[in-house]
Chains A and B, each alone.
Chain A
Amino acid sequence: MTTQMKEKPPLGQIIVITSGKGGVGKTTSAAAISAGLAKLGHKTVVIDFDVGLRNLDMIMGCERRVVYDFINVIQGDARLKQALIKDKRLDTLFILPTSQTRDKDALTKDGVEAVLNELKEEFDYIICDSPAGIERGAQLAMYFADEAVVVTNPEVSSVRDSDRVLGLLASKTKRAESPEGEPVKARVLLTRHDQTRIDKGEMMTVDDVLEILAVPLIGIIPESQAVLRASNVGTPVILDEPSTASMAYEDTVARLTGEEVEMRIGEERRPGLFQRLFGRTS
């Protein structure tokens, strides 16, 4: 009893990373945010809900260590402890990979709830990486969430899909279905922000996006080569060498934990005059 009292009880906050549209950066963001939270000392687990299209483990660089997965746990074939993969870089970060061979029908509401309840006993933050779309997988990823990060690109179809997802968060979640209690706290994470293209009128401005979505902004991630690089080497952007994107994710993570951080729009350094004259330097 006394030893347990010394430790702070886990926060048990469930955050879904969702978007509706595919390819906007959900998994990259889920990896970066969970690594960022773990880096701050919070015990964090990230769950891949994209059953059948297992990607998170690759972005996290642990694909070769997967034995049991989320579906095995839901179906009772493995214990949760067996399926959780501990990150090699941060000892507060865990990954619950999904199955590549099954499909979204293998997810059940009761099964997901049981796994999440067990994780809440131990973790401060439970990050649910939602699949694209608004079908079963995406709905179950968001159903038990306390908070949502809606990943959006400054582009019309992405904004419209995010809007649809915000509608689902406000109606098809456990918090929405219980009359008392707060609704899911949803915030927008704008990714692939490119000021040069916005200036040319090829992309929507931050204000345009927020005007349509009418929810607070949690961060602006600039379009960056570092993101692609990090994905390919299996390191969350935030743990890779410093870049504008990793700094933007760090700010985002700080805001998630309740800190107030001023919004800044970092950009990839544009090639200067000399670089343009003499070609690429690297």
Chain B
Amino acid sequence: MRTETANGRSGRATVTAQPFQIRGRFITAIALRLESAKLDAAFYEALDEHLHRAPQLLLNAPLLLDLGLVPGLTDKEVLRALVAELRKRNLQVFGVQNVSSDPQREATEALGLIPVAIGRETSVEKAGKSGRSKIDRLLPPDNKLITKPVRSGQVIFAERGDLTVIGSVSSGAELVASGNIHVYGTLRGRAFAGVHGNESARIFCLRQEAELLAIAGIYRTSESIGDTLRNHSLQVFLKDEGLYLEALT
């Protein structure tokens, strides 16, 4: 499971072109498959013993209930009690899989459990994203070159490719690129590289006084960039989910 960036001040950035960003996420969850619908003291005793043996593995883990072997388990109250018991043991139940009947679906939905389809369906968002990258692959990259200073309030958008600015980028201006951003001048505004999720995109500038630097949605603001690399020529890249600044010597 992906964790938030190592840097405490980093986080998701928004891009002017689109006020949000949809990104793929894979999470690892554990599934608890019920072998029998009999949820008595013996069941919890066995569960406790298992948890005791491997406490780190299961503690706070996202957990799916697999109801594939218990089609008869449709009683909402029994299920509610089961979820409550599991949560008491720090198991984060969030969904169900292999729901076999309508009464069972209704009962689990009433408890707020998400039906999860494993390995068969992809979500609509994911389909949309792959469609887009297909178009991106078909179109040639379209790099942009700006030879004038970028003024406050201006937004320069390189939809498919790198953005190069020869001149300075003023405070209050924004550079947005799906690829790398190069500034041969002072970067005082904001720069968003890899906005379609390209985590290998980088930002380069001759002199850094940026208000905000972002790559693939991971950003740092002027405050969290700090003063040590102010006025330096540097490159910015993603490493270990964090945004790194490195002086170019």
**A interface residues, Cβ below 8 angstroms from B:** 134, 160-161, 163-164, 166-168, 170-171, 211-212, 214
Contacts and interface: CB of A to CB of B under 8 A. Distances in A.
Contact of B168 (A160, A161, A170, A214): A214
B172 A170 contact: no
13 contacts: A160-B170, A160-B171, A160-B172, A163-B151, A163-B152, A164-B153, A164-B172, A167-B151, A167-B153, A170-B151, A211-B168, A211-B186, A214-B167
Contacts of A171: 154
Nearest to A169: B151
Q: Interface centre among B149, B150, B168, B186, by most A CB within 10 Å? A: B149
A214 B152 contact: no
B63 to A, nearest CB: 52
A227 B170 CA distance: 31
B188 interface: yes
Q: Interface centre among A134, A166, A168, by most B CB within 10 Å? A: A166
Contacts of A161: 152
B170 A163 contact: yes
A65 to B, nearest CB: 39
B2 interface: no
A211 B171 CA distance: 12
Contacts of B151: 163-164, 166-167, 170
Contacts of A211: 168, 186
Interface residues of B, number: 15
A163 B171 contact: yes
B152 A167 contact: yes
Nearest to A165: B151
The 7 closest A-B pairs by CB, nearest first: A167-B151, A163-B152, A164-B152, A164-B153, A163-B170, A214-B149, A167-B154
Contacts of B172: 160, 163-164
Interface in B25-53: none
Contacts of A134: 153
Given A161-B152, A164-B172, A211-B168, 5 more contacts: A160-B152, A163-B152, A167-B150, A167-B153, A171-B154
Interface string B186-197: 101000000000
A194 B172 CA distance: 26
Contacts of A170: 148, 151
A185 to B, nearest CB: 14
Contacts of B186: 211
A182 to B, nearest CB: 14
Contacts of B152: 160-161, 163-164, 167
Contacts of A166: 151
B152 to A, nearest CB: 4
B175 to A, nearest CB: 14
A152 to B, nearest CB: 12
A142 to B, nearest CB: 14
B157 to A, nearest CB: 14
A161 B172 CA distance: 9
A171 B151 CA distance: 11
Interface string B177-209: 000000000101000000000000000000000
Contacts of B173: 167
Interface string B137-164: 0000000000011111110000000000
Nearest to B171: A160
Nearest to A171: B154
Contact of A212 (B148, B153, B154, B170): B170
Nearest to B168: A214
A160 B173 CA distance: 10
Contacts of B148: 170
A170 B167 CA distance: 15
Contacts of B150: 167
